[in-house]
Amino acid sequence: MGGDHGPSVAVEAVLASIKRHADLKVLLVGERKELLSLLPPDYPSDRITLVDAPDYVRMDDKPSFALRHRTQSSMAISLQIVREARAQACVSAGNTGALMALGRSILKTPSGIDRPAIIRRIPSTRGRCYVLDLGANVDCTAEHLFQFAILGSLMVEVVEQKKYPRVALVNVGKEDIKGSEQVRLASHMLEASPALNYVGYIEGDEIFKDVADVVVCDGFVGNVALKTAEGVIAMLSGLIGDAFKRSLYTRILGFLARPVLRRFQNLLDPSTHNGAIFVGLNGIVVKSHGAATAKGFARAIDQGVRSARLGLPERINARLDDLYL
Amino acid sequence: MGGDHGPSVAVEAVLASIKRHADLKVLLVGERKELLSLLPPDYPSDRITLVDAPDYVRMDDKPSFALRHRTQSSMAISLQIVREARAQACVSAGNTGALMALGRSILKTPSGIDRPAIIRRIPSTRGRCYVLDLGANVDCTAEHLFQFAILGSLMVEVVEQKKYPRVALVNVGKEDIKGSEQVRLASHMLEASPALNYVGYIEGDEIFKDVADVVVCDGFVGNVALKTAEGVIAMLSGLIGDAFKRSLYTRILGFLARPVLRRFQNLLDPSTHNGAIFVGLNGIVVKSHGAATAKGFARAIDQGVRSARLGLPERINARLDDLYL
């Protein structure tokens, strides 16, 4: 029921996703009447099950309010379904703060982890890296940052089958004298940890330079950095288009170069990278961008499918016990 | 003496700058011998004056250490020269934290301002906006953010001759429930201020959408956001080049499109936008990027020249008294 475009986006994405994934079954949780009106009359009821939810979380609900008063919301019921193992993953485009609070309350965090974090793979020309937290926790202690590093490291181990992923901490400079107190303290904790392959501080521009597999920061910094990157990409895409529109000659060039430019622009299309994961919960929760289209929402469903196939939280939790022993 | 490439970059930039600005005179502060070895034998000694400094600030000096022990450094002496009005502006590629600490100690902040901030114009396709703080203050209270908003607003008034610039505060969402406590408190202070045209929260991607003239955030967030943007730009520039190298046909297209692509890449070249200003000091201090080339350092000198011609700090301070009355 969440997101900027309401449930129509989710319904359209679900219809596309069950075609992509032959073994996928979906429980659509929300206002039954509205969902029915959005589904075609001949929708495959053996693959899509409607679950009625009398309430839904509003985009401006405070997390504490959602926790207390949205217990019958589509979000809370979805998470409850995951907890009862009636579904392997929950995908939502709703209120991030509420999803964090309800996820933590209903699914719980594994022992040793205080708070879940939002993690996403960031596309780059060389390699790939996972950044967390992207907005679930705006105020973080050094201990939280340390736990994010462990979660991110385990996530990359499981998802990318990469041993000893390189972990870096975002700071405003390389020197140990720089940064806030939490960041410096977290760095010392990471240095002292034998379980992690900590490579030190990195600055914002290095996220795209394949110097780390896991990039750790607090949710405020991560969210602003990611959105700034999105803003630059959107601006540059437009700028390239305009550059080729300046004269008849450049228009012809632009027309001829269309396949080249399109490949470039597809790579940057945010909808192809949609779907961030709440890591550090006893269950899979995928957050779709609120502004995602049906195509983007389907990518978030893909993330849920992939994570379920990998058995992501179980495998992270099993390794977590190793690390904390 | 600072920056990644040492004084050669500054010397080369100075030689280019005195050609660009017919009325510019430069005091080159540093190790006299080294500077002399970098200057051509026939350098115009009526335009360039060497000022010997026995010491210099190291890139890994703590601000507190620089404050106490680098009193005879090129940085401290340069700032002293500005204080004594023997120069109208100081340009440095040195240690940012030390420049902040020494600047504050030698030049002082005007009354009503606790800390200077680093501000820069961010290029965007539509309009332009000024972002502060970009790294001088990693931990900020709501009061500091409020003061940055005032400084940024006055800076845009003076530099862009724009009345009532739109001021926005960086947050992780639009809703008033979001963000850290300092940010929410700063927002309430800004809302209550009749002197400012406060337009509310913005997210990272909106920095490039001409929704604000002044964008306020703490130095950690601002620094990471700016560097992330730089990283994306560098990555995309490379990506476009590669896209046109995939086949003979695309190579020919790329060759024909070179003027178009070059215009685009020039626009993104970080050296054309080098030079951030310390706003909130009784004097002009320009910070050049540590990695800047001579071309980039010359842009930072341009910033100093322009600010001196505008009488930037005097005009900001005069308006500051109005605002605080």
As a whole number of angstroms, the distance between CA B65 and CA A11 comes to 61
Would you call B266 an interface residue with chain A, using a CB distance cutoff of 8 Å? no
Interface A-B, measured as beta-carbon pairs within 8 A, has a size of 178
DSSP-assigned beta bridge partners for residue A202: A170
For residue B224, the chain A residue with the least C-alpha distance is: A204
For B:59-118, CB contacts with A below 8 A are 59-63, 96-97
DSSP-assigned beta bridge partners for residue B176: none
**pLDDT score for A173:** 82
| Complete domains list, chain A, with CATH | 1-113+280-325 (3.40.718.10)
**pLDDT score for A79:** 98
Would you call A252 an interface residue with chain B, using a CB distance cutoff of 8 Å? no
Residue B308's identity, in one-letter code, is A
B226: chain A residues, CB-CB within 8 Å: 204, 228
Would you call B225 an interface residue with chain A, using a CB distance cutoff of 8 Å? yes
B220/chain A closest Cα distance in angstroms: 6
DSSP-assigned beta bridge partners for residue B29: B51
As a whole number of angstroms, the distance between CA A258 and CA B253 comes to 10
Given a cut of 60, whether residue A325 has pLDDT beyond it is no
Work out the number of other CB atoms within 10 angstroms of the CB of residue B32: 14
Please report, for residues A142, A232, A286, the alpha-carbon distance to residue B280 in angstroms, rounded to integers and kept in the order given: 31, 29, 44
Region class of B285: left (phi > 0), else alpha (psi between -120 and 50), else beta = beta
A83-87, A237-241, B21-25: range with lowest mean pLDDT: A237-241
For residue A175, the chain B residue with the least C-alpha distance is: B60
pLDDT tens track for B231-269: 888 887 777 777 778 788 888 877 777 777 776 666 667
Given a cut of 80, whether residue A71 has pLDDT beyond it is yes
Q: Token pair for residue A113?
A: 């982890």
pLDDT tens track for B208-223: 888 999 999 999 999 9
> Which of these, A29, A174, A268, A83, lies nearest to B95 by C-alpha position?
A174
The answer to whether the CB atoms of A240 and B268 lie below 8 A apart is: no
**pLDDT-derived band of residue A214, with 50, 70 and 90 as boundaries?**
very high
pLDDT tens track for B277-311: 999 999 999 999 888 899 999 999 999 999 999 99
**pLDDT-derived band of residue B2, with 50, 70 and 90 as boundaries?**
confident
Would you call B239 an interface residue with chain A, using a CB distance cutoff of 8 Å? yes
The answer to whether the CB atoms of B203 and A239 lie below 8 A apart is: no
Would you call B238 an interface residue with chain A, using a CB distance cutoff of 8 Å? yes
Sign of CA pseudo-dihedral A62, A225, A139, B182: negative
A62/chain B closest Cα distance in angstroms: 6
> Which of these, A312, A153, A92, lies nearest to A101 by C-alpha position?
A92
ipTM above 0.90, yes or no: no
B59/chain A closest Cα distance in angstroms: 8
Would you call B186 an interface residue with chain A, using a CB distance cutoff of 8 Å? no
pLDDT tens track for B76-128: 999 999 999 999 999 999 999 999 999 999 999 999 999 999 999 887 767 78
Percent of all residues in chain A with a pLDDT value above 90, rounded to a whole number: 70
Q: Whole-prediction pTM value?
A: 0.89
